A = this chain, B = another copy of it.
């Protein structure tokens, strides 16, 4: 099966690889296959008329991206070098895979996408840069299941476009969180959470 995508590197009939920065598919493309992430990180995003990019989500090993009814409503790109399992899409829009005897798979994945979207809306509802970034760090830590040592796999630009901020503000805000002893940075990617209650309260997770 010819796949209209230069970035895709076939390993065997099911496994494919993408280089960091490569595109899995583009917004508007016809839905042909979906990808279950085995290793690496994917970002999904939409581009606006003015060139502005909105990152709509980050996806981690185990997640599946690219499922939809007819055409993709967002693009998907490899944040890191990537390995994933390609799942063919049947005419009825459901993914066919080892686990696809479950007829409600599409439903389940749609629910996931919706939860994802609501998480974004939730983030935007938190108004200040501090609150958004704190929420983002906690969210990522939780998703990676790495306790208090978070290895942020994406760059500042990705974070900025996800949170609706500029890289400058993101960078400055990291600085402020460090100054306030809420986190500590070792390099720009490795973040240690020092004050979990403080972060949770900042992120609006207080109860």
Contact = CB atoms under 8 A, between A and B. Distances in A.
Contacts of A110: 107, 110-111, 114
A187 to B, nearest CB: 27
Interface stretch (A1-9, A79-87, A121-129, A140-148): A121-129
Contacts of A164: 124-127
A184 B93 CA distance: 44
A48 B113 contact: no
Contacts of A49: 204-207
Contact of A56 (B118, B205, B207): B118
A89 interface: no
A50 interface: yes
A48 B125 CA distance: 9
A56 B52 CA distance: 22
A156 interface: no
Contacts of A52: 125-127, 204
A114 B115 contact: no
A17 B69 CA distance: 34
A127 B51 CA distance: 12
A176 interface: no
Contact of A121 (B50, B56, B92, B93): B56
Interface of A: 46, 48-50, 52, 54, 56, 69, 73-74, 92-93, 104, 106-107, 110-111, 113-115, 117-118, 120-122, 124-127, 164-165, 204-207
